[in-house]
Each structure stands twice: as C-alpha cells, then as structure tokens.
C-alpha cells in the first residue's frame, strides 16, 4: 500500500513538472518568424522558433561524466521521491543518475527521462503508442529550458511553451490540421 502511495506521488510530481502550473508573465517576446508558414498546401514548421538564454541540450548532456546511455535505466516502480522532489532509486541512499523508462503493455517505450543527481536533466520524451512523439521537454538541473513541445497523434504540432532561465515567456497552440489557434506571448516592456 505504501509503495502504491509513493508511486502516485511520483506520478503527480512528474505531471506537475511536465505540465507546469499556470506560469507568471515575464518580459520577453518570441520572434514573429516562429509562426508556421503554409507553402503549397503543406504546413512548414520554422527551424528557429524561440531564442533562449539557456544552455543547449548538447551543453546540458556534457554535465554527465559519461554517456547517458551507460547509466542505469530503471522503471517508475523502482524510484522514490524524497524531500525537495529529488528522485532516488529504491534502497539506494543517493540521488539517482540515469534514465527512467516507462513502457506500454506491449513493451514499447512510452516515456524516457534522464536524471542527474536526482533532478530531471536533459531530454524528457513521451511517445504515443504509434511511436510518434507526444511531448518533449529539456530540463537543466530540474528547470524547464527552451521549448517544451506537444504534438497531436497525427504528428502535427499541438503546443509550444517558451522557457528561458526558468521563466515562462509564452506559448502557441495549433489545431490538428496545423493551423495556429492561439498565441499567448509575454509583452515586451
């Protein structure tokens, strides 16, 4: 019973980290070139949608003393969260460094998250059963960094949230056909 309660706390913590709470308004603007353009009936996603002051994913990955894939990969039921939201592997008295993997019933990977010293660090990737990405976020020592992206099941982008230095700078939402339906950007001072 206690392990089930702990598992629920881990899931709730993870959902809160990935989904985020209602963010505070900041003073940064996303460049206009971030709007996807329609060309010959096809939606083209821009390559540079947001400029963040955060470190790049490559720089973040260099924090691991060895390649991330060489660290242990464990499932959600092998972890516990201690004070401050730090992730530990059960029965090991130090913060976890490695990957946490969730799988669908058929064995395909549904979620892959990397952790360094118990905090989300690097890419967090959730997939649909089809294998297509559902959500991608980059964390730098537990802090969202750059663009957090969600997709529709058909592969079209659904939402982008823009983060820099731990602050929220706005988001854009698209319908399933790829048409932008909402833009919530933090106004410039």
Structure confidence at residue 52 (pLDDT): 82
DSSP symbols for 123-161: EEEEE-TTS-EEEEEEEETTEEEEEEEEE-TTS-EEEEE
Structure confidence at residue 51 (pLDDT): 78
C-beta neighbour count of 57 within 10 angstroms? 15
Is the pLDDT assigned to residue 165 strictly greater than 70? Answer: yes
CB 139 within 8 Å of CB 147: no
Is the pLDDT assigned to residue 167 strictly greater than 50? Answer: yes
Structure confidence at residue 151 (pLDDT): 98
DSSP-H helix ranges across the chain: 2-19, 57-61
Is the pLDDT assigned to residue 5 strictly greater than 50? Answer: no
Q: How far is CA 181 from CA 47, 107, 118, 168, in A?
A: 20, 36, 37, 19
Structure confidence at residue 84 (pLDDT): 83
Per-residue model confidence as pLDDT tens digits over 95-141: 999 999 999 999 999 999 999 999 999 999 999 999 999 999 999 99
Sheet of strand 180-185, all strands in order from the earlier edge strand to the far edge: 73-75, 98-103, 109-116, 119-127, 133-140, 143-151, 157-164, 167-174, 180-185
Q: Categorize the per-residue pLDDT at 23 as very low, low, confident or very high, splitting at 50, 70 and 90.
A: very low
Query: Which residue has better confidence, 29 or 57?
Result: 57
Structure confidence at residue 16 (pLDDT): 40
């Amino acid at each position: 019973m206690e392990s089930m309660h702990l598992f629920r706390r881990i899931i709730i913590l993870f959902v809160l980290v990935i989904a985020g709470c209602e963010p505070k308004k900041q003073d940064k603007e996303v460049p206009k070139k971030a709007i996807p353009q329609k060309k010959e009936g096809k939606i083209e996603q821009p390559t540079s949608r947001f400029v963040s002051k955060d470190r790049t994913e490559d720089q973040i990955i260099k924090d691991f003393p060895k390649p991330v894939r060489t660290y242990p990969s464990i499932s959600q039921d092998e972890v516990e969260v201690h004070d401050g939201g730090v992730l530990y592997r059960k029965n090991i008295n130090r913060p976890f460094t490695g990957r946490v993997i969730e799988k669908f019933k058929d064995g395909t990977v549904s979620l892959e998250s990397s952790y360094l010293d118990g905090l989300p660090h690097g890419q967090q990737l959730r997939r649909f059963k089809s294998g297509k990405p559902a959500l991608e976020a980059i964390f730098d020592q537990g802090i969202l960094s750059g663009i957090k992206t969600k997709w529709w099941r058909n592969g079209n982008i659904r939402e982008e949230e823009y983060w820099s230095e731990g602050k929220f700078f706005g988001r854009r939402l698209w319908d399933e056909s790829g048409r932008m339906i909402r833009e919530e950007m933090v106004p410039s001072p």
